[in-house]
Amino acid sequence: MPEPGATGHAWDTGMRRWDVLYGIVWLVGLQVTAASAQPTADRVVAAVAVAAMAPLYLLVGRPHMRSHGGTVTRRAVAYMTGIVLLFAAADVQAPNAWFMAIAILPQCYHVLPSRWALIPVTTMTGIAAAAVAYRDRSLSGAMTAAALAIAIIAFSLIYGRYVSDIVSQSLERAGLIAQLEATRAELAEVSRQAGVLAERQRLAGEIHDTLAQGFSSILMLIQAADAQLEQAPGNARAQLALAAQTARENLAEARTLVTGLASAQLQAGTLTDALRRLTERSAAELGIRASFDASGPERPLDAATEVVLLRTGQEALANVRKHASAVQVAVRLRYAGDQVQLEVTDDGVGFDPAVVNGGYGLRGMRVRVAEAGGSVTVASTPGKGTSVLAEVPA
């Protein structure tokens, strides 16, 4: 049931309007009762009974309707019992007190379920009809009172069903709204967690493809320089210079990760330029022959696609460095129709793709390219090198 002040149910949304209606009827009823032609004592009793209905409504009836409207509780029974007794006292002493039924009878259906509300409705209607018949003391008067009572009860049945339907629909709607809000909250939490996971995976891929590979290159170059420091100091200095250059590039990549900008290598030129520099640096690091070739009509790509292709080239060349033991590697960028292809081929030891599924780097490469709407094909034979082909929409 709704808490006090809620606005989700029919009896709550119309509470203020009912307060206004009841207040108007109560003021008019009190005035009509006090001004009736009955003896003074009768008028005083009737007026006191009508006056007592207001605090009873404010202290008992209204709080119940706001928090437990339409249910059987001790407060509901106590309120309706008090209202019936006060109505009986007022109507018996002053027939004009029947005017209060305009506001009291609808309340019965707001306080109790429709089948229970018929009890106070029938009781008050019977009291009013009996009072009219007693005062008139004629057959026509009795028949008129009976007909009026039947009409009122019949109308109350229709009204009660109407109110019951509104309450049922309101409860059902409130339940659906609560379920939707709960579902929306769950979806928001799932979406937040998915976003956190996706961002974590993105950062893991970026760190693996940039910083981790850069540090691996630096370590390899320093180790190579240390080995040649005494016998070939010139070569050692060249290796250290290359390590310093790699460290600077790694620092630039770290800054781009923090600021969320495009790759530092792409900021310095086109994708073709970045892949050419990457190929040349890999050749210098590994001491092997490396070639880069771009074919097809070059056209601008969106930043995300360029990053995917650059990271794919970085990972493929990193795998050559770590696993291939190659003498030669070739990097080819092709603009073919509505596709852009990047192929990295080496003449290294190769492997059996059916047995080796690749580590995190290859999986990350496939995920990156798939997110860009493309695919990765790995072809390799033991002893005959490896070819990695990435295709993405242009």
Residue that is written with structure tokens 């950062």 in the block: 203
Which domain, by its residues, includes 17? 10-183
Are the C-beta atoms of residues 290 and 279 closer than 8 Å to each other?
yes
Give the orientation angle of helix 40-56 with respect to helix 74-93, to 10 degrees.
160
Residue at which a domain ends, from 160, 183, 206:
183
Residue 292 has pLDDT above 80, yes or no: yes
Specify the pLDDT at position 360. 64
In a domain, 227, yes or no: no
Cα 301–chain centre separation: 34
Q: What is the CA radius of gyration of the chain?
A: 44
Rounded distance between C-alpha atoms, residue 61 and residue 382, angstroms: 88
Cα distance between residue 238 and residue 225, in whole Å: 8
- Give the CB-side neighbour count of residue 11, counting CA atoms within 13 A: 30
Confidence check: pLDDT of 385 > 80:
yes
Domain boundary among 156, 183, 210: 183
Determine, yes or no, domain membership for 188.
no
Quick check: 261 pLDDT over 50?
no
Dihedral pair phi/psi, residue 7, rounded to 5°: -130, 25
Q: Do residue 177 and residue 276 come from a single domain? A: no
Question: Do 160 and 278 reside in the same domain of the chain?
Answer: no
CA 18 to CA 103: how far, in whole Å? 8
Q: What average pLDDT does this structure show over 34-52?
A: 84
Kindly indicate the confidence band of residue 291, based on its pLDDT and cuts at 50, 70 and 90: very high
Q: Where is pLDDT greater, at 227 or 68?
A: 227
| Assigned domain for 49 exists | yes
For the stretch 264-284, pLDDT in tens is 556 557 888 889 988 988 888
pLDDT for residue 190: 82
Is residue 26 located within the same domain as residue 157? Answer: yes
If asked whether residues 276 and 128 sit together in one domain, one would say no
Read off the pLDDT of each residue in 56-77 and give the average, rounded to a whole number.
81
pLDDT at position 257 is 63
Place of tokens 């073709």: 272
Mean pLDDT of 248-276: 68
Highest mean pLDDT: which range of 75-84, 123-132, 143-152, 248-257: 75-84
Question: Domain check: are 282 and 158 in the same one?
Answer: no
Claim to verify: residue 21 and residue 155 sit in the same structural domain? yes
User: For the chain, how far is it from start to end, CA to CA, in angstroms?
Assistant: 58
Kind and range of the H or E element at 212?
none
Q: Which helix (H) or strand (E) holds 54?
A: helix 40-56
Sorting pLDDT into bands at 50, 70 and 90, what band is 81?
very high
Please name which of 348, 359, 355, 361 lies closest in space to residue 387, comparing C-alpha atoms. Answer: 348
pLDDT band at 346, cuts 50/70/90?
very high
Strand partners, 330: 291, 345
Tokens 């059902």 found at: 172
Assess whether pLDDT exceeds 80 at residue 3. no
What six digits make up the tokens of 318?
């990193």
Region 42-49: what's the mean pLDDT?
88
Task: Please give the average per-residue pLDDT across 143-166, as a whole number.
Answer: 71
User: Are 14 and 160 members of one domain?
Assistant: yes
* Higher local confidence (pLDDT), 89 or 262: 89
Specify if 192 maps to a domain. Answer: no
Q: What is the DSSP string of 131-162?
A: HHHHHH-SHHHHHHHHHHHHHHHHHHHHHHHH
163 token code pair: 């109110």
The reply to whether 249 falls in a domain is no
Mean pLDDT calculated for residue range 198-218: 70
Q: Are residues 178 and 276 in the same domain?
A: no
CA–CA gap between residue 341 and residue 363 (Å, rounded): 18
How many structural domains comprise the chain? 2
Task: Identify the band that residue 14 occupies on the pLDDT scale cut at 50, 70 and 90.
Answer: low
Highest mean predicted confidence (pLDDT) among 25-34, 148-157, 384-393: 384-393
Confidence of residue 388 (pLDDT cuts 50, 70, 90): very high
- Is 314 in contact with 269 (CB distance < 8 Å)? no
CATH number reported for the structural domain that contains residue 317 in this entry:
3.30.565.10
pTM for this predicted structure: 0.44
Tell whether 94 is covered by a domain: yes
Non-local (6+) Cβ contacts of 93 within 8 A are 38, 42, 43, 45, 46, 49
Residues 307 and 168 in one domain: no
Does residue 393 form part of some domain? yes
Q: Report how far residue 255's alpha carbon sits from residue 269's, in angstroms, rounded to the nearest whole number.
A: 17
Residues 122 and 25 in one domain: yes
In a domain, 143, yes or no: yes
> Residue 298 in contact with residue 254, Cβ under 8 Å?
no
Query: Does residue 172 have a pLDDT over 70?
Result: yes
Q: What number is the average pLDDT over the span 61-75?
A: 77
Which tokens belong to 124? 């008050």
Mean pLDDT on 45-61: 90
Mean pLDDT of the chain: 79
pLDDT at 2 over 70: no
pLDDT digits (tens, 9 = 90+) for 19-40: 888 888 888 888 888 887 578 8
Final residue of a domain: which of 183, 212, 240?
Answer: 183
- 169 with 274, same domain: the answer is no
Name the burial class of residue 78, with classes exposed (0-12), middle (13-18) and buried (19+) by CB atoms within 10 angstroms of its CB. middle
pLDDT tens digits, 106-131: 888 888 887 888 888 888 888 887 87
